[in-house]
Structure 1
Amino acid sequence: MPRRKLEGEPDWQTPNADGVLPAPPHDKTGHTWHHDNALLFEYTKLGGKGALSARGVNDFNSGMPAFEDALSDADIWNVLAYIRSTWPEREQQIQASRNPAH
């Protein structure tokens, strides 16, 4: 079921019977803001398994689906920008500091 308020799924820090963590909240109570933009983009586009595999992590079973067939790259960046815009200033600044300067 889609979560329209960025709240994630119940008990998101407890793996289910398959060892997969439920979707975390994307507000300040979750961990989305702990990651840089590149990982957030890859996670959304490639799904959790694809994004982590591309980074050499093959032993983590992620439930995050890939959206590369449903959303354009621009759409993904727009969704991520919206999520970032909902965070308090402190979380926005911390997350921004994790992105390499261009």
Structure 2
Amino acid sequence: MRIFSARYAALTLASLLPAAAVVADPQGLLPYRDADAVAQGQALYADHCAACHGARLEGEPDWRARDEDGYLPAPPHDVTGHTWHHPDAQLFDITKYGIEAIVGNGYKSRMMGYEHVLSDDEILSILAFIKSTWPEGVIARHDQLNRVAGN
């Protein structure tokens, strides 16, 4: 299968462009049912994401309120956050390129892109780990979002 990467202006859906070849879940791009991918993602999440997004995916306190410098704290990736409100390709792009690059228009974020740090497969594994922690009902809603988005 192919993974599709997309640039999203102001976090809206855009045209999907082919990127790297990976084995993806039929419900989207993330191999969240693949135990090996999830285990790899969990380890990579601990190394690259947990410092900001929390060891239990809980995010930083007051993540919806900008700080004195105008930045939003890191959001949770558990069910209390909004990660599952975005299709796989958008989550992939945010992780790979950083939120500032995706939103544009001077949007400020401390979320750097991992394009030169993690491979595409590693990014997918991290996102698969995150998705694997959500309740089945949230996963079903996210899978539906992916179908609508064409992931």
TM-score of the superposition, structure 1-length normalised?
A: 0.88
2:73 paired with 1:22: yes
Larger strand proportion of the pair? 2
Gaps of 5+ in 1: none
Gaps of 5+ in 2: 1-49
Question: What is the aligned partner in structure 1 of residue 113 from structure 2?
Answer: 66
Cα distance, 1:22 vs structure 2: 0.5
Q: Distance in 2 between matches of 1:39 and 1:46?
A: 10
Q: Distance in 2 between matches of 1:79 and 1:15?
A: 26
Q: Distance in 2 between matches of 1:59 and 1:95?
A: 29
Q: Distance in 2 between matches of 1:32 and 1:92?
A: 11
Q: Distance in 1 between matches of 2:71 and 2:137?
A: 29
2:83 paired with 1:32: yes
CA RMSD of aligned residues (A): 1.5
Superposition map of 1:42-57 within 5 A: 42-53=93-104
Aligned length: 98
Match for residue 88 of structure 1 among 128, 135, 142? 135
Identity %: 47
- Structure showing greater relative contact order (alpha-carbon pairs closer than 8 Å, 6 or more residues apart): 2
